[in-house]
């Protein structure tokens, strides 16, 4: 998705990293000359929004699981450590939002 604006001469210069809030807002503001490329960009952004909504729903579900037995005490204990999130406490990795779900289902 980064290539569509870049190949049309649009270069992100407002920050150092891609996929921050600032970068995503910049991508949404881009208007490409080719209508098909613009349509593809809009579809990709809609898909990205959908994936974000799915991740938020999974995070909410994990928070609910974390407050039930047998997870509530271990999650509470582990969450006291710096950098330990609910997902990590449930057995997931920090890079995978869905691994905690499979760990919770495996028990």
Per-position DSSP letters for the chain, written without gaps between them: --HHHHHTT----S-SSTTSHHHHHHHHH---SSHHHHHHHHHHHHHHHHHHHHHHHHHHHHHHHHTSTTTHHHHHHHTTSTT--HHHHTT--TT-SSHHHHHHHH-
Q: Is the pLDDT of residue 85 over 80?
A: yes
Rounded distance between C-alpha atoms, residue 42 and residue 27, angstroms: 10
The length of the chain, given as a count of residues: 107
| Model confidence pLDDT, tens digit, residues 13-54 | 666 666 788 888 999 999 999 999 999 999 999 999 999 999
pTM above 0.75, yes or no: no
């Amino acid at each position: 998705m980064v290539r569509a604006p870049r190949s049309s001469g649009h270069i992100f210069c407002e920050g150092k990293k891609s996929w921050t809030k600032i970068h995503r807002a910049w991508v949404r503001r881009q208007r490409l000359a080719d209508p098909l490329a613009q349509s593809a960009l809009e579809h990709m952004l809609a898909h990205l929004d959908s994936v974000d909504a799915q991740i938020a729903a999974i995070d909410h579900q994990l928070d609910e699981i974390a407050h039930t037995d047998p997870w509530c005490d271990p999650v509470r204990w582990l969450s006291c450590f710096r950098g330990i999130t609910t997902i990590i406490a449930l057995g997931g990795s920090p890079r995978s939002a869905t691994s905690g779900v499979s760990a919770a289902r495996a028990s």
